[in-house]
Amino acid sequence: MARRKSLFATVVALSLAATQLAAGDFAYVTNQNSEDLSILDLDAGTEVSRVPVPGKPAGVAVDGSGNIFTVSPDTKVVRRLDQDGTVLATAQLDGGPIGVVYDRGHKRVFVSDWYNARIWVLDAETLEQVQMLETGSAPAGLAVSDDGRWLASADRDSDQVSIFNLDTLGLHLRAPVGSRPFGLRFDPEGRLFVANVGTNDVTLIDPQSGEAIATVAVGERPYGVAFAQGRAFVTNQYADTVSVIDLDTRAVVETIDVGEYPEGIDTTTDGATLVVANWFSNTVSLIDASTMQVVAEIDTADGPRAFGTFIQARN
């Protein structure tokens, strides 16, 4: 596919004026190459500031109350920042920290350790280590279910997911998926969607039983998953597209062209818009969830990854 920037980048303000975004939503996008965080005002369609985040940041999570957590693999530092980008707490880890997710029910943060097959459990306020969980080889993406029951880890080199009970932090089960799972997220019904970069598909898992409900073929190198309007939206890195899966039929109903090398994806708080981080284009694409059309682009700093959850309403 030809590499290109969308023409929508030149008409961001006009496009956003016609797009219904959740009032006050901001996107906090980790930029790996420029080692910073782009703070984007989605209503205005602008980048309002850039905050230095040394160490090639990739993983990011928001808590819905104004805190942002970033993971820098090169320096092995986890940070908690406020909505303006002020650093409130840091933790120096070892190994290979990469993915991060927030546990609202217990006010914890989980960070995956790529090199040592484990997950750090950190206190969300202080970032002090509370516990360690064992996973399969090379854990990457992490997800917490909306009902507060499950923590899931995509164990890339084991071709499996590990699912833990959130209350006890005990291992519930390990379930096989496709080749090299990386990103994953629970849908509104509690099913786990796992993006398998090696087999170009998405595995749907019942977290209670570990049963594979379905396998859906998508584009080349699927990476991130988000949900809106009864559909799953999956970024395809090598295809420069987003595959749209109907949650009822489990069929791909649309393929959307976005920027170059799309990675992180998240949904605005009103469920109306998907925001996609395009690593090679240095932009985010905004997709109308109802029409499944790209309606705007916003420039970021260099190398946006946004691996995790990165949108929340500003307090």
Q: Domains of the chain by range and CATH?
A: 7-313 (2.130.10.10)
Cα gap 199→185, rounded to integer Å: 18
Taking the C-alpha atoms of residue 292 and residue 294, their distance in angstroms, rounded to an integer, is 7
Q: Which residues contact 121 (CB under 8 A, 6 or more apart)?
A: 108, 109, 110, 129, 130, 131, 132, 133, 169
Q: What residues pair up with 202 in beta bridges, in sequence order?
A: 195, 216
Average pLDDT over residues 133-145: 98
Q: Of residues 5 and 131, which shows the higher confidence score?
A: 131
Q: Express each pLDDT in 228-247 by its tens digit.
A: 999 999 999 999 999 999 99
Predicted confidence at residue 12, as pLDDT, reads 37
In this structure, the dihedral spanned by the alpha carbons of residues 282, 192, 311 and 234, taken in order and rounded to 10 degrees, is: 30
Inter-residue contact 173 to 189 (CB < 8 Å):
no
What residue type is assigned to position 243 of the chain? S
The structure tokens listed for 2 are 């030809």
CA 161-166-169 angle, to 5 degrees, is: 80
pLDDT at 52: 98
Statement: residue 122 has pLDDT above 90: yes
pLDDT digits (tens, 9 = 90+) for 25-78: 999 999 999 999 999 999 999 999 999 999 999 999 999 999 999 999 999 999
Q: What is the structure's pLDDT at 18?
A: 35
pLDDT in the model for residue 140 = 98
* 9 vs 280, higher pLDDT: 280
The span from the CA of 217 to the CA of 226, in Å, is 16
The model's confidence at residue 282, banded by pLDDT at 50, 70 and 90, is: very high
Q: Are 65 and 80 in contact (CB under 8 A)?
A: no
- Name the band, by pLDDT with cuts 50, 70 and 90, for residue 315: confident
Note the pLDDT of residue 163.
98
Average the pLDDT over 271-296 and give the result: 98
Is residue 89 predicted with pLDDT exceeding 60? yes
Residue 6 pLDDT exceeds 80: no
Predicted pLDDT of residue 5: 40
pLDDT at 8 over 70: no
Dihedral (CA of 249, 252, 256, 258) sign: positive
Quote the distance between the C-alpha of residue 117 and its chain's center.
20
Q: Residue 10: which pLDDT band, with cuts at 50, 70 and 90?
A: very low
- For 189, the token pair is 């019904």
Cβ pair 31, 40 in contact under 8 A:
no
Q: Is pLDDT above 60 for 9?
A: no
Residue 131 CB neighbour total at 10 angstroms: 11
